[in-house]
Structure 1
């Protein structure tokens, strides 16, 4: 699992360097003293070993969303839930798994990507009694 945390951290950091590229870039929202980092990508970017260790399906028709919560420069545990809607407003719930290791905490979920289209994500992040909501659109492409 150390390789998974390293991959997800690397993915977040590398896409931060390309912040102007919204399609591939990591995004973040700040709520008071807490920052929620999030990005989404096709599961074919995961190596087979990393996908297996995270119990993710590696397929050109599967996307992955990665969420991390940071407060005062340190990872925070949270309850993360959400959904993704297609253009017809069909909603698919996102079932997040918490990955904790080597001082990092990530929340990952998968969703289907049957065709190229723009999807609307709604993510709820709860820390303590506060619930913060992030809404964003992302154009998705089935992988190769």
Structure 2
């Protein structure tokens, strides 16, 4: 009986890791022929020269959201805005700025990560005369 309990415990502990892998897989939202690719990460993963070039602060308590807009496989210019909320609905604006590399434009914004917590991102993307909105939750961790 104890082997069964141990097996169930191990299986239940591995589920969050499997769920995290599924979340990381394909971070995109599709609206007809427009696709928004996005990801979030701690700013400490950026190389110092990359962070400096994008005017981003490297800190274990700073996160970055990065997104790009593609229409029919081609990069598209956009106006991007959004907020990040905690579970008590306290919201902070996300101030996106464009970063151009190799002919493609990404939009980046920073946000504080003072502690481990789940945050809600609400994003609005304007391109081609239309506005596309989406939200996602992300568990955030201060960096090492």
- TM-based fold match above 0.5: yes
Please report how far the alpha carbon of residue 51 of structure 1 lies from its aligned counterpart in structure 2 after TM superposition: 0.7
The structure with the greater share of residues assigned to helix is: 2
Answer yes or no: is 1:90 the counterpart of 2:90: yes
- Computing the radius of gyration from Cα coordinates, the structure with the larger value is 2
Give 3-state SS (helix, strand or coil) of 2:82's partner: strand
- Matches of 2:128 and 2:103, distance apart in 1: 20
Give the conservation status (yes or no) of the 8 Å contact 1:25–1:39: no
Match of 1:10 in 2: none
Match of 1:28 in 2: 28
Unaligned residue ranges in structure 1 (runs of 5+): 1-18
Please report how far the alpha carbon of residue 103 of structure 1 lies from its aligned counterpart in structure 2 after TM superposition: 1.6
Match of 1:128 in 2: 128
Give the conservation status (yes or no) of the 8 Å contact 1:98–1:107: yes
Give the conservation status (yes or no) of the 8 Å contact 1:60–1:143: yes
- Matches of 2:96 and 2:74, distance apart in 1: 20
Please report how far the alpha carbon of residue 26 of structure 1 lies from its aligned counterpart in structure 2 after TM superposition: 4.8
Please report how far the alpha carbon of residue 109 of structure 1 lies from its aligned counterpart in structure 2 after TM superposition: 0.3
- Matches of 2:60 and 2:24, distance apart in 1: 16
Please report how far the alpha carbon of residue 82 of structure 1 lies from its aligned counterpart in structure 2 after TM superposition: 0.2
Match of 2:81 in 1: 81
Aligned pairs, number: 126
Please report how far the alpha carbon of residue 101 of structure 1 lies from its aligned counterpart in structure 2 after TM superposition: 2.8
Give the conservation status (yes or no) of the 8 Å contact 1:23–1:139: no
Match of 1:68 in 2: 68
RMSD: 1.6
Unaligned residue ranges in structure 2 (runs of 5+): 1-18
Answer yes or no: is 1:100 the counterpart of 2:100: yes
Give the conservation status (yes or no) of the 8 Å contact 1:84–1:92: yes
Give 3-state SS (helix, strand or coil) of 1:139's partner: strand
Please report how far the alpha carbon of residue 108 of structure 1 lies from its aligned counterpart in structure 2 after TM superposition: 0.3
- Matches of 1:101 and 1:135, distance apart in 2: 26
Q: TM-score, normalised by structure 1?
A: 0.83
